[in-house]
Amino acid sequence: MRLDTIRHEVETTYDKVKSLAGWSVSKNVVLTITSYYVTAEREFNAVDFNRAMAALKERSGWFSPLRGHLLPMMAAFLTQSGNSVDEVVDRLMEKQRVLKQAGFRNSIHSYLAAILMNDDADLFEVEAERAKKLYNAMKKQHFFLTSEDDYTYAMLLGKKGEDPELHAKAMRNYYDALRKEGFRAGNELQWLSQVLTYTDIDFKSHLVQRAVRIFEMLGDDLKAMPVHYPMIGFLTVFDVEDGNIREIISLAKELGQSKQFKWNREMALSLACGILLHHLTESADQVGVSMAASVDMIIQAQQAVMAVTVAAVATSSAHSASNG
């Protein structure tokens, strides 16, 4: 990877997104959208982006979750297929309807989960039911931690079609084991424990140790934080080697020199992880599993979580400021 080339692409894409997203969209959300395009090696198309935003506004009410500051993020996700924007947005609304019927609450998280669904309408109900069963099983294992922001991972992992109770139990086992290794308790650790079940729901102690090793490597050089836990999970289950982790460190440091990341170093690391993961999964033998077909879905899931996390922080800060 040419580090300077990637940095230039990030800076150029950021400027394009910022000019169209609008002044009300926070810098963190713009960075997240930029990360999505760069990670997936997709050219930012202003025309498609604007059409997607307009179509989402047209089909959603004033109080819809889509009307928030994550509207541009959703528009970016919907420009990926190359199909008609109207067709893609209509399909999203149908997926959302099916998810609501399955018992998911109407929120930005359910729309993000809808994006991860298969485009075959015959599979909508099957995937929604599997995701809801897994979500319910996850709720039994971690009642207070499991909430709407787990919808995306319930959808992503529910596609495996495993026994939901056994699957959720494996997540809890990973959570407890990682907690003993010093990982901070909370939603991010739950996401990490969920990701570790992606390729196999049987508990593997070596995955716990590998996650510890990766976190230590990233922490020593880049001060990795809980927000990076899910990506550490992906790097773990895809058996990314130490040499590749060092490439991530080098790329994150290069990106950190850009003004866009001056106050967002944590996002530089997330972007670096995503870029390397994308490159590795283009050649399945490098990660030991055939992930080429689903790499974009994985990147979307992580970027969606990042987007929601950033938005929650922004909302909380604005609320605190208004009260003050």
How many domains are there within the chain? 1
Distance between CA atoms of 154 and 149, rounded to whole angstroms? 10
Predicted pLDDT of residue 324: 52
**DSSP letters along 117-128, please?**
S-S-GGGHHHHH
CB 256 within 8 A of CB 268: yes
Predicted pLDDT of residue 121: 96
Q: Which stretches of the chain score pLDDT less than 50?
A: 286-293
Neighbours of 223 (CB within 10 A): 11
Q: Is the pTM of this model over 0.75?
A: yes
Predicted pLDDT of residue 292: 43
Distance between CA atoms of 57 and 199, rounded to whole angstroms? 37
Predicted pLDDT of residue 315: 52
Predicted pLDDT of residue 307: 62
Distance between CA atoms of 274 and 127, rounded to whole angstroms? 25
With a pLDDT cut of 90, the percent of the chain lying above it is: 54
Predicted pLDDT of residue 274: 85
Instruction: Express each pLDDT in 6-35 by its tens digit.
Output: 999 999 999 999 888 877 677 878 888 888
Distance between CA atoms of 312 and 28, rounded to whole angstroms? 11
Instruction: Express each pLDDT in 264-304 by its tens digit.
Output: 888 899 889 888 887 777 665 544 444 444 565 666 666 66
Distance between CA atoms of 132 and 29, rounded to whole angstroms? 28
- Structural domain span for residue 176: 3-323
Predicted pLDDT of residue 80: 76
